[in-house]
A and B are shown apart, each in its own frame.
Chain A
Amino acid sequence: MSAIRTAVDEERFVVAERLRRKLQSLGTPAFCPEESEAGSVGPALLCPIGPDDWALAAEAAAAQGCRWAAGWGDSQGESWVVNALLEKSGDYLLLRTVLPPGRNDLPSQTPHFPGAARPERHARDLLGLDFTGHPDGRRWIRHQAWGEREFPLRPDFPLAGHPLAVTAPDRGYGFASAHGPEVNEIPVGPVHAGIIEPGHFRFLAVGETVLNLEERLGYVHKGIEKLAEGRDPESLARLAGRVSGDTAVGHAWAACQAMERAAGVEPPERALWLRASFAERERIANHLNDIGAICNDTAFAFGYYQFSRLRELWLRDNLRWFGHRLLMDRIVPGGVAVDLPEEAASGMPAAIAALRRELDELKPILDEGTIFQDRVVGAGVLPERIVRELGCLGYVARACGIGRDVRERAPHAPYDRLGVKAVVRGDGDVAARLYVRYGELLASLDILEECLRRIEPGPLRTDWHDPSEHAEGLGLVEGWRGEIATYVRFDGTGHVARFFPRDPSVFNWPALEKLILGNIVPDFPLCNKSVNGSYSGHDL
């Protein structure tokens, strides 16, 4: 801290010192209670910071080993309120600054947290906030659908915008380039060759080896944050379930958790066990899908067909028991929309046992498939240092030895009663990401069994009551890709004033740019699938 002491005036040092103490106290069970007058948002302690100290706070937080977990702006009256969520050892701290009316600039936190780069660009494009000292001035979510000086999340910008008949394609982004007779530039997308979401990848390759990869995302930006404004809780949950279609449960749960914390509504016990069951079922369906797809990308058709068969059986059970293959709209504010039918309570143990048996049988086949192993072992290695710098989440972090898992580190009900242990491996390659997921399949089956054992008769839903004006809450849920952090603020009429869902992909997409370096271009689909970032959840 001595560098900071000499660099700043005394008044600012006081702020930094207070933050330092707060940050130091993170990780202790008593979460700096003596300073709790600052309040809290959901489970995060609120820490007000002056705008000029915004970078200083980030520097202090980085020095304390905090992870930068999310950042978003919010307009309140004439002022901007800017938030940055930090985490350490499962404790969350929300830095908040209020810009005086007329001011829209504050120092960038990106120099201290590289993972903040894209979220700050997102906020710049949508709110017109100016992060001084940000290393990248290029637009990010804004392509050409709205003007350079128009900012969709500002109150004066109408939801309908002022669109032209045809939006011009994105041009002049300023990709990194390299010159030389040996270097090839390979543009891919936004329309991809498979049945997947759109985005653009720009490779620089020497021969087959990837020298650089740059992602250009934002193609599926469909105005989710603006669309959320004015919705009632029920309708927000529906929208949240479509932030990323493969994470319908995760995002809906995080949004409902945020709204419930804001309103002080406690979902009943039975609903919590059902929510966890849905979340684990979603994790299993997606891991089965991706393991099959990884097999497919190595031309191991057997693996693709086996895992896609198991996934299909699993989704049919979802439909039969809970009414929707992807479990959309099953989680609602205050509880759940469907019960556990008798047929599911009696049929699920057998389905779980059958899947476990098949997984046990398939694993040695993957292990002994020499051609398969040759492709996945050592491919797309992500260094642990990058995971820490970017704040990567989920299986991407856990495959690099970093056991980030909300269910273990910051367990919310009902995980607080389950003692979930994160599945961790250390090699950081495609194989490690694959085997972390394999381990998670088995762990999720255990959790599902536990949910079935513990669930008791009871109501499915607590009556909703409108929260007070400015009531706000934070939802933190371990989605199948990793931590989902969702912020909701209400207006005075029980409707949503601000909704900001942060998908784990935000921090895992930049990791893909790093882990592909030095690999060959034909291994890109494999590396990409092992990460499987969400485009929709990122672009919002």
Chain B
Amino acid sequence: MNKLLSKIARVGIVTETFKPLTDPELDRLGAELKATIDGRFAGSLAIRQVDAGSCNACELEIAALGNPFYDIERYGVHFVASPRHADVLMVTGPVSRHMQAALRATWEATPEPKWVVAVGTCAADGGEFGVNYASCGAVGNVLAVDAVIPGCPPTPADLVRGLLSLISR
């Protein structure tokens, strides 16, 4: 236990403000994000992430938002297990045809009002896979999309920026 406590003490808090990752605009968006979430979402924005056919790279970067550097929960942003608890569906991948019905069912299970965010180049435009016998391509081909965060994969900083701009509309 001593080792554990001393490790905690020595590492300290590494959570970053997003200043080094971007420009003053992001600070403004960060403040707006918090205010918007406080006002419109009672202090908490719930995201249900759905992998609809990605190669898993986008998932790795979305999951990284939970690491102590980004700690996205400090903005009131939470990843939830059920679409019924979600305000936002964050969808990755070209939508595989085998996931098309499951994605639609997930969308239908999400209460209004809801936003759909397409994350990653594949979700944005089909990426390396495009539209084919097994892939519907962009998420927009299956659901109405409210925001797109491109990148292959988008970095955690890109994801924060994209979310901020969606929320601050």
**What is A's interface to B at a CB cutoff of 8 Å?**
143-146, 152, 157-163, 166-170, 190-191, 193-198, 218-224, 226-227, 238-239, 242-246, 248, 289, 302, 305-306, 308-309, 311-312, 315, 319, 325-326, 328, 361-362, 364-365, 368-369, 534-536, 539
- Tally of B interface residues using CB under 8 Å: 57
Other than the known A226-B132, A238-B128, A536-B55, what 13 A-B pairs have Cβ atoms closer than 8 Å?
A162-B133, A163-B133, A167-B97, A169-B101, A169-B105, A220-B96, A242-B55, A245-B60, A245-B153, A302-B4, A311-B67, A312-B69, A326-B60
Cβ distance A375 to chain B, nearest Cβ, rounded Å: 16
**Taking CB as reference atom, which chain B residue is nearest A159?**
B132
Q: Are B51 and A220 in contact (CB under 8 A)?
A: yes
**Interface 1/0s, chain B 127-146, versus A by CB < 8 A?**
11111111110000000000
Q: Are A166 and B100 in contact (CB under 8 A)?
A: yes
Cβ distance A197 to chain B, nearest Cβ, rounded Å: 5
Q: Are A219 and B132 in contact (CB under 8 A)?
A: no
Choice from A220, A302, A325, A368 contacting B93 with Cβ under 8 Å: A220
In Å, the complex CA distance between A221 and B133 comes to 10
Q: Are A160 and B131 in contact (CB under 8 A)?
A: yes
Looking at chain B's contact residues, is the secondary structure mostly helix, strand, loop, or mixed?
Answer: mixed
Cβ distance A383 to chain B, nearest Cβ, rounded Å: 29
- Interface hub of A145, A161, A239, A305 (most chain B Cβ within 10 A): A145
**Interface 1/0s, chain B 48-89, versus A by CB < 8 A?**
011111111111111110111100000000010111000000
Question: Known contacts A167-B97, A365-B4: does B54 contact A312 (CB below 8 Å)?
Answer: no
**Taking CB as reference atom, which chain A residue is nearest B100?**
A167
A195 cross-chain contacts in B, Cβ below 8 A: 49, 51, 59, 62-63, 79
Cβ distance B65 to chain A, nearest Cβ, rounded Å: 9
Q: Are A191 and B56 in contact (CB under 8 A)?
A: no
Question: Known contacts A166-B104, A308-B66, A326-B153: does B132 contact A245 (CB below 8 Å)?
Answer: no
In Å, the complex CA distance between A169 and B97 comes to 9
Cβ distance A305 to chain B, nearest Cβ, rounded Å: 5
**What is B's interface to A at a CB cutoff of 8 Å?**
1, 3-4, 7-8, 11, 14, 49-64, 66-69, 79, 81-83, 93-94, 96-106, 127-136, 152-153, 155
A168 cross-chain contacts in B, Cβ below 8 A: 101
B51 cross-chain contacts in A, Cβ below 8 A: 195-198, 220
Q: Are B94 and A222 in contact (CB under 8 A)?
A: yes
**Taking CB as reference atom, which chain B residue is nearest A164?**
B97
Q: Are B133 and A146 in contact (CB under 8 A)?
A: yes
A163 cross-chain contacts in B, Cβ below 8 A: 97, 133, 136
A143 cross-chain contacts in B, Cβ below 8 A: 98
Cβ distance B57 to chain A, nearest Cβ, rounded Å: 3
Cβ distance B32 to chain A, nearest Cβ, rounded Å: 25
Q: Are A244 and B81 in contact (CB under 8 A)?
A: no
In Å, the complex CA distance between A224 and B105 comes to 25
Choice from B14, B55, B69 contacting A243 with Cβ under 8 Å: B55
B93 cross-chain contacts in A, Cβ below 8 A: 220, 222
In Å, the complex CA distance between A168 and B81 comes to 24
Question: Known contacts A198-B51, A219-B102, A536-B55: does B96 contact A306 (CB below 8 Å)?
Answer: no
In Å, the complex CA distance between A146 and B133 comes to 7
A242 cross-chain contacts in B, Cβ below 8 A: 55, 57, 127-129
